[in-house]
Amino acid sequence: MISLSSPVRTWAHGWRAGTKLAALCVATMLLFAIGNIVFQTAAFGFALLLYCLPGRVFLREGLRHLRVLIPFVAIVLIWHLVTGDPARGIKTIMRMVTAVALANLVTMTTSLTALMDVVRWMSSPLRRLGVSTAPLEIVLPLLIRFVPVLTLRAGQMHQSWRARSQRRANYRIVLPMMLMALDDADRVGEALKARGGALPEQEN
């Protein structure tokens, strides 16, 4: 499965995930609070600099993640050219790209385990109140494991469709996929129960 994390190790990988998240929160709030064009341009340049620092491989990978914004950039630009206010359009685009770029930086330089630790730390008041967060620690690995499994199965279904029909697979393939996922879920549920249940501290 393709990961969104960085292909090269950067100095930011060593920072604490919580610090990076807090910095991101502050940066995004500032971006939306300060409408000054000078500040927005400076922030945009700063984000670009951060992408350039770790080298060319990192820059290319980072820009690849930002490609999804191109249609929105185009829409906003056309919109403001039509309404005759291109300066405001460029400011909006810069703010959006900077905010997404900074957030992607945190995602690219932080491992999933580190983020999960932050989530566990943030949910500790819930545990203090007696709410169990154990189910989350079961369903997230299940999800991560089953995305490739279901992708493989969906690919097999696609192949068997193509072996039988000249036409391309259409929406009809969703029904067998859903039945497969639901049937699998029941078996996984039984397997979880057979292995001691989802909540170890509780009598099942």
Partner 1 sequence: MEKDLARIALFAALIAILGLIPAITLGFGVPITAQSLGVMLAGAVLGARQGGLAVLLFVFAAVLGLPLLAGGRGGLGVFASPTVGFVVGFPVAAFVTGLVVEKLHRLPPGVSAGIGAFIGGIIVMYAFGTIGMAIVLNKSLTEAALLNSAFVIGDLLKAGLCGMLVAAIARLRPQMLPWYRAPVSQVFR
Q: Which is nearer to partner 1, 57 or 183 (CB)?
A: 183
Enumerate binding residues for partner 1 (CB under 8 A): 1-5, 21, 24, 28, 65, 68-69, 72, 75-76, 79, 88, 92, 95-96, 99-104, 106-108, 110, 112, 115-116, 119, 135, 138-140, 142-144, 146-147, 149-151, 154, 171, 174-175, 177-179, 181-186, 188-190, 192-193, 197-199, 204
Cβ partners under 8 Å of residue 156, min gap 6: none
Contact 120, 133 (CB under 8 A): yes
Q: Return the number of the residue (37 or 139) whose C-beta is nearest partner 1.
A: 139
Whole-number minimum distance, CB 124 to partner 1, in Å?
A: 17
**Cβ at position 89, least distance to partner 1 in Å:** 9
167 CB-contact burial (10 Å; exposed 0-12 / middle 13-18 / buried 19+): exposed
Closest distance to partner 1 from the beta carbon of 191 (Å): 8
**CB-nearer residue toward partner 1: 45 or 111:** 111
Q: Minimum distance between the CB of residue 146 and partner 1, rounded to whole angstroms?
A: 4
Which residue's structure tokens are 């609070």?
A: 33
Residue 62: Cβ within 10 Å count: 21
CB nearer to partner 1: pick between 42 and 142: 142
Residue 183 parent element (H or E): helix 174-194
Q: DSSP of 68-117, one letter per residue?
A: GGHHHHHHHHHHHHHTT-HHHHHHHHHHHHHHHHHHHHHHHHS-HHHHHH
**Please, what is the minimum distance in Å from the beta carbon of residue 139 to partner 1?**
4
Nearer to partner 1, 56 or 92 (CB): 92
